[in-house]
Amino acid sequence: MYEQILPDLYRIIIPLPNSPLKDLNSYVIKAADRNLIIDTGFNRDVCFRAMEEGLRDLDIDLNKTDFMLTHMHSDHTGLVSRLFTDSSKVYFSRIDSSVFNENIDWQAMLDYALQNGFQLEELVKAVESHPGFKYSPKKIPEFTFLDDGSIIEIGDFQLKCILTPGHTEGHICLYEEEKQLFFSGDHVLYDITPHIESWSYETNSLKNYMESLDKVRNLPVKLVLPGHRNLFTGLAGRIDELKKHHENRAKEVLEVLGVNTMGAYDIAGGMTWDIECENWEQFPTTQKWFAVGEALAHLLYLEDQGRIKRHKGEKTDTFSAP
Ligand SMILES: [Zn+2]
């Protein structure tokens, strides 16, 4: 199943079972000599079947097809390992590609999670059930690296890469200036709020995210093509809503903290979440991982602005009013 958006531009909807995102938008640009597929789905059979069917109906020859991955998350990258051929270029952010590097320091991330209040047993469960570990690409292609300003040409589409750190450090959006199309990946979504998390004290993801929103806010855009859910118009308006959402969320963190000194894990437990669950204890472990990551993104943002203070603890770090 596919739908046509413009001449030579199509969308295949790839289901993401058990994910609150529901599905992924895979965009296909069909041209005489080469085709381009933007984002792919999880490395799972159910995603593969949907993709296969869409490509068959569109009469796409994978031997004449290149790929572009907006960012490293496995719902965007995972399936590429089953699709790329010897002739395929796989365009990918130079920065995000480091996550597929063998030498990545997972230990540092786990230490950071423990430092912020995760119990070891819970942490092991969170890692095991994390879709990023389960459905990531198994066979890693050789990437053609993208940086801010890189251009991908396909048919009469000229896609300019805009580096938009925040959702991930190396997230890349594509802008087609003449057609005024903006492939926003997970940087700007319409029906849901992109997840912003921080898994190292060195990365102020939310600050980066807010700056990346400003970076693209005033682009002349007729149609936004996001990584999930509905296509939309009115990029600037949506960006203003997202910025407001995060300022409100930061305020909520301050309210939970009040006059107390608390760790990120407990602060996340005091925040409101759009999930059907009686209380924090009953939160599914994977969701706890996302929640604590999001709480931390807002905590580091507030700390950077001098609105709260972080205290190094023996075992667990804490935050309080300055
Ligand atoms: Zn993502």
- The CATH homologous superfamily of the domain defined by 3-320: Ribonuclease Z/Hydroxyacylglutathione hydrolase-like (3.60.15.10)
- Residue 315 buriedness (CB in 10 A; 0-12 / 13-18 / 19+): exposed
258 CA distance to ligand 1 centroid (A)?
Answer: 32
Taking residues 292-314, report their average pLDDT. 97
Decide: 60 and 28 in contact? Cβ < 8 Å.
yes
Could you report the per-residue pLDDT of 262-277, keeping only the tens digit for each? 999 999 999 999 888 8
Instruction: Show the beta-strand stretches assigned E in 40-89.
Output: 65-69
Tell me the angle at which helices 120-129 and 106-115 cross, rounded to the nearest 10 degrees. 130
Instruction: State in Å: Cα 34 to ligand 1 middle.
Output: 26
- Work out whether strand 90-93 and strand 3-6 pair parallel, antiparallel, or are unpaired: unpaired
Q: Nearest 5°: phi and psi at 191? A: -85, -20
Cα–ligand 1 centroid distance for 312 (angstroms)? 30
Per the prediction, the chain carries an average pLDDT of 94
**Cα(159) to centroid of ligand 1, in Å?**
20
Q: Which residues are 29's β-sheet partners?
A: 9, 36
Distance 167 CA to ligand 1 centre (A): 7
- Give 73 Cα–ligand 1 centroid separation in angstroms: 5
Q: Name the residue ranges covered by the structural domains of the chain.
A: 3-320
Question: Is the backbone of residue 149 left (phi > 0), alpha (psi -120 to 50) or beta?
Answer: left
Going from the Cα of 190 to the center of ligand 1, the distance in angstroms, rounded, reads 14
Query: Distance, CA 255 to ligand 1 centroid (Å)?
Result: 28
Band (121; pLDDT cuts 50, 70, 90) = confident
On the question of pLDDT at 137 being above 80, the answer is no
Q: How far, in Å, is the centroid of ligand 1 from the Cα of 164?
A: 12
Mean pLDDT of 286-303: 94
| % of the chain surpassing 90 pLDDT | 80
**How far is the C-alpha of 167 from the C-alpha of 11, rounded, in Å?**
22
Q: Give the Cα separation of 221 and 170 in Å (integer).
A: 22
What is the rounded distance in angstroms from the CA atom of residue 143 to the CA atom of residue 262?
Answer: 42
Cα(259) to centroid(ligand 1), Å: 34
**Spacing, Cα 315 to ligand 1 middle (Å):** 31
Say how many Å lie between the CA of residue 186 and the centre of ligand 1: 5
Helix (H) or strand (E) holding 124: helix 120-129
pLDDT tens digits, 40-60: 999 999 999 999 999 999 999
3-state class (DSSP) for residue 73? coil
Q: What is the DSSP letter of 152?
A: E
How remote is the CA of residue 21 from the centroid of ligand 1, in Å? 10
